[in-house]
Structure 1
Amino acid sequence: MATTTRIVPGSSQSPPAAIPLLNRRTLLALCVGVGVVLLALSGRHGYHVDELYNRATREHLAWGYVDQPPLVSLMARVETTVLGDTLTALRVVPALLACVVVWVAALIARELGGRGGAQLFAAAGAGASVVTLNAGHVLTTNIPDLVAWVTVGWLVIRLLRTQDTRLWIAVGAVTGVGLLAKNLIVLLLLALLVGVLAMGPRAVLRSRHLWAGAALATLISAPAVWWQVTHGWPAMEMSAALKTALGEDSRVAFIPFQVLMIGLFLTPVWIAGVVALLRRTQWRAFRSVGLSYLFMAVLLIAIGGKPEYTGGLQLVLLSAGSVVVVEWANTTVRRTLAGTALVGNAVMSAVLMLPVLPVALYGSNPVLKGLGVFQMDQAAWPQLAEQVGTVNRSLSPPDRAHAVIYANHYGLAGALDRYGPEHGLPHVYSGQNSYADFGRPADDTDVVIAVGVNRRTFGVLFRSCEPSGKFRTDLPVADQNTEFLVCRGPLEPWSQLWPKLTWIGFSCPYTAEAITARSEKGCSLT
């Protein structure tokens, strides 16, 4: 039985021998530096729209949700319970996991034969990349998913170098945990499988350890998968909604996003990693990793998937490219160029992904306004709650005593849930994704403050719906000019009305058709 196969040393296919790890104090200092920067900036601007949702799901722990597995909600629950219900507390674990990404990047360079300089450059490059700072700044499914991707990449490269197929068990364990955060890691495994089948060494697939790893991944992720099964596979509906929302935009944006995910200045480095993995004789055992990226790129273009799905694998390629760049940088001029690219990428990534500048500047500067969308997704939530509070106070005391709030999407609902109590707001409901499962208004609820819905189509469900202002802010946030309505007298009991208001997707225009059936909501990204 094929279990552990060794490549004969000295052959043309011999992988590089193990290299000592970079001085651990130096590497630890770099990782801590990234974490300190992330935590120092964690309290600026505000909650990201997805963080508001994850903050809400922590109060409704389950083995799954319509739009994501359970791990991030559990992380939010633990963080806020131990550290308090604050923005910084919610971002502690993401910052720590970003440090893990930086450390593993150095390990990948080491497996490919990179010595101290290459390992240091790989770790610094990972910490200076857009994808790491994006994921490490906010609590979303992206950060545990990113850790899973780079860790699986490291383990597979180590497996290919050593031919120790027992590492499949570790791959299975990481994959199982990754599946509790996000389903995307399946895409990485598919790409790596195609790469190994096409480029070899295929012997690593003929191992009982591979099946043991697959069984372990299945066992760890089984509760989340079972939740999907028992709830009718809402993840499939989410996937379809995403594809409809993106349309052709994902294909058009694919190349720009490949540059953006790591950063403009380090793009040549990860591209060099792809080329070297495919062409270097001493890296012949790792050709499958280079091919896996090409396969993934073609597949995403073909199916219209999100171009940023390649980000985790690009970090693996960045580590490979770091070995190439450090070998190339054998003169003062070349070392200066490499260092300048690293620093330039760090500055660019920090400006785009971290709140290093005043939020008003991101909204007013012509360049930052287009590139700093991530910052706008974290802005103006307290002002929203304050203005909805004004609407609530305008109601008569009897109406105010029995009113509820219905928010169009989970970001609005999460913001009003977070900041509403200080403005005396009533309970907040939303029909989007799993927020719809967190409760509905009681059947005797007669007054609703509706936020972000379409008056013409939402109003047909009530005896009256009167406008009560709009969300006003100087920042170009997505919900700017969102309308507030005060609706009275639902035409049906809420138990019958609620299914017409629930939907799966990314935003909902409340078209007339959207109200008729859940499967025809017409919801799409706006």
Structure 2
Amino acid sequence: MATTTRNSSVSSQGRLAAVPELNRRPLLAVSAVVGVVLLALSGRNGYHVDELYNRMTGKHLALGYVDQPPLVSLIARAETTVFGDTLTGLRVVPALLACVVVWVTGLIARELGGGRSAQVFAAAATGASVVTLNAGHVLTTNGPDLVDWVVLSWLVIRLLRTSDTRLWLTIGAVFGVSLYAKNLIVLLLLSLLVGVLAVGPRGVLRSRHLWAGAGLATVLAVPTVLWQITHGWPAMEMSAALVTALAADARVAFIPFQVLMIGLLLAPLWIAGLVALFRRPAWRAYRSVGLAYLFMSVLLIAIEGNPEYTGGLQLVLLAAGSVVVVEWAKTTVRRSLAGTALVGNAVMSAVLMLPVLPIAWYASSPVMQQVGVFQLDQAGWPQLTEQVAAVYRALPSQDRAHAVIYANHYGLGGALDRYGPKYGLPHVYSGQNSYADFGRPADDTNVVIAVGVNRDTFAPLFANCESSGKFETSLPVADQGTGFLVCRNPRESWAQTWTELRWIGFQCPYTAEAITAKSKKGCSSM
């Protein structure tokens, strides 16, 4: 392998800071292909439930939200301004971010000594992974967060290779900005620091640049941290609600999720990368990265955390595994096996994460419904809105003049806000998370069309509530069967009533029950 980039300095372990030549054009080509595929499929099906919420937070920009930092909302606002309020327009940036993830994973393979073929294979394997296609298809916090994880990992690996402690400044800047995407980045940095402390090289920690980088990260993070402090740390309540929702299933599902996050056929690749980080003498400096993954896994199992949180580090292990597999694939048979696994994984990931099949196919059997749950979360919103509009039109004219819509969760609220103007629907409100801060009904509001609420807790707040049907669809979407209530005359002022309707947490899939930090049951037990 040709080495055209070389640092004259020698590390404390005698390693020359050298990397192979960057395979620039093929890496760009692979990244571009992933982006083109994502954009070509971006307009199919419909908005994901989280996209409907992010579209709404984009209308109400703030330094923070109850359930997430502000970056994805800023992206949503920029996209709807530049590209229009369309599904494809909302998905341009996620596709571009996926291209960045693919490119940087190729750079990680290069840092680990991977030549031109290994770099391209790492990029292609990343583009063929479930976690990348998931983050690149829809606008959620996953897209910018995944970029942050791979970029930060790349910088740390580069630091370990070169011992150039000035990289701590860049790491600090990236970390500080990353906190505006998702607070989960703290888990990555903690795991990497634990790895370096445990197995070295600890010399990179004895530097004034580390403290300068930490200071830079702190300064950059001040606005979003201050927002959390002044709002009572809602992120902590959201984290508790997530643990409650996952319940004990998080531990049971941890290993299956580790296999599926990259994809079944490429699972041996990232596992080989993990093993090689500990066994290869040439990769001794990077053992801390492998240990970081193991530490994070043990920590998530212990706290019943979301098993999906390891996805970013798994891409780093995938890059390491790509170096291993390219060195292994010296014969035609082995190259064929590696290529088949890559293509097969790409197909499987696309079926799971992208709308490559008609939506009806995902509803055709119980197995396909499980396979296509991500696709089904993007279906049925226009039909739901049309049926709510029928309830609204059936009201007497005097009721319509003072009616509003209350949606139990932000997906319902976002959908009715997006498609409601076509049917002349009134303003939509929701009490979930930060949606509750976007406004409450005016004091003269005496008629509410409630969508998806629990009647036992909602109806007592009003003098009268009557059922007006439910959401009917042939697709097994999460809100199938959601009930519609028409309620009149709140018993208290709207200021008081609104305090009863606000809640922080998650909507349990396929039920009308909310999961909050104070709940005693997880979704699986309902």
Length-normalised TM-score, structure 2: 0.95
Amino acid at match of 1:183: N
Identical positions, percent: 75
Please state how far the C-alpha of 1:488 moved relative to its aligned partner: 0.4
Change in Cα spacing, 1:266 to 1:510, as seen in structure 2 (3 Å) is closer
Please state how far the C-alpha of 1:132 moved relative to its aligned partner: 0.3
1:424-435 to structure 2, matched below 5 A, reads: 424-435=424-435
Contact 1:168 1:212 in 2 (8 A): yes
Match of 1:138 in 2: 138
Match of 2:66 in 1: 66
1:341-420 to structure 2, matched below 5 A, reads: 341-420=341-420
Amino acid at match of 1:167: L
Match of 1:113 in 2: 113
Q: Does 1:242 align with 2:242?
A: yes
SS at structure 2 position matched to 1:269: helix
Match of 2:494 in 1: 494
For 2:442 and 2:503, how far apart are their aligned partners in 1?
Answer: 19
* Consecutive unaligned residues in structure 2, runs of 5 or more: 1-7
Match of 1:215 in 2: 215
SS at structure 2 position matched to 1:364: coil
Note the alpha carbon deviations across 1:52-74, whole angstroms, 9 max, x for none.
00000011100000000000000
Note the alpha carbon deviations across 1:284-319, whole angstroms, 9 max, x for none.
110100111011100100000000000000000000
Query: How many pairs does the alignment contain?
Result: 515
For 2:336 and 2:17, how far apart are their aligned partners in 1?
Answer: 28
For 2:326 and 2:202, how far apart are their aligned partners in 1?
Answer: 31
Q: Does 1:7 align with 2:8?
A: no
Match of 2:455 in 1: 455
Note the alpha carbon deviations across 1:451-496, whole angstroms, 9 max, x for none.
0012222111111100000000111111100000000011001011
Contact 1:131 1:262 in 2 (8 A): yes
Match of 1:38 in 2: 38
Q: Does 1:129 align with 2:133?
A: no
Change in Cα spacing, 1:198 to 1:237, as seen in structure 2 (3 Å) is same
Contact 2:470 2:482 in 1 (8 A): yes
Q: Does 1:52 align with 2:52?
A: yes
For 1:521 and 1:52, how far apart are their aligned partners in 2?
Answer: 25
Match of 1:316 in 2: 316
For 2:417 and 2:494, how far apart are their aligned partners in 1?
Answer: 20
For 1:219 and 1:351, how far apart are their aligned partners in 2?
Answer: 43
Match of 1:304 in 2: 304
Contact 2:244 2:519 in 1 (8 A): no
Amino acid at match of 2:287: R
Match of 1:507 in 2: 507
Match of 1:17 in 2: 18
Match of 1:283 in 2: 283
Contact 1:15 1:284 in 2 (8 A): no
For 1:476 and 1:37, how far apart are their aligned partners in 2?
Answer: 27
Match of 2:253 in 1: 253
Amino acid at match of 1:322: S
For 1:433 and 1:378, how far apart are their aligned partners in 2?
Answer: 21
SS at structure 1 position matched to 2:401: helix
Please state how far the C-alpha of 1:519 moved relative to its aligned partner: 7.7
Note the alpha carbon deviations across 1:73-107, whole angstroms, 9 max, x for none.
00000010011000000000000000000000110
Contact 2:106 2:123 in 1 (8 A): yes
Change in Cα spacing, 1:75 to 1:300, as seen in structure 2 (3 Å) is same
Please state how far the C-alpha of 1:178 moved relative to its aligned partner: 1.1
Amino acid at match of 1:479: D
Contact 1:127 1:133 in 2 (8 A): yes
For 1:70 and 1:499, how far apart are their aligned partners in 2?
Answer: 24
Contact 1:263 1:345 in 2 (8 A): yes
SS at structure 1 position matched to 2:489: strand
For 1:134 and 1:507, how far apart are their aligned partners in 2?
Answer: 20
Note the alpha carbon deviations across 1:327-374, whole angstroms, 9 max, x for none.
000100000000000000000000000000001111123332112111
SS at structure 2 position matched to 1:481: coil
Amino acid at match of 1:411: G
Match of 2:4 in 1: none
Change in Cα spacing, 1:352 to 1:373, as seen in structure 2 (3 Å) is same
Q: Higher mean Cα deviation, 502-511 or 172-181?
A: 502-511
SS at structure 2 position matched to 1:468: strand
Contact 1:16 1:282 in 2 (8 A): no
CA RMSD between the two structures? 1.8
SS at structure 1 position matched to 2:195: helix
Contact 1:353 1:375 in 2 (8 A): yes
Contact 1:510 1:521 in 2 (8 A): no
SS at structure 2 position matched to 1:65: coil
SS at structure 2 position matched to 1:478: coil
Please state how far the C-alpha of 1:5 moved relative to its aligned partner: 8.3
Length-normalised TM-score, structure 1: 0.95
Change in Cα spacing, 1:524 to 1:506, as seen in structure 2 (3 Å) is farther
For 2:161 and 2:212, how far apart are their aligned partners in 1?
Answer: 20
SS at structure 1 position matched to 2:469: strand
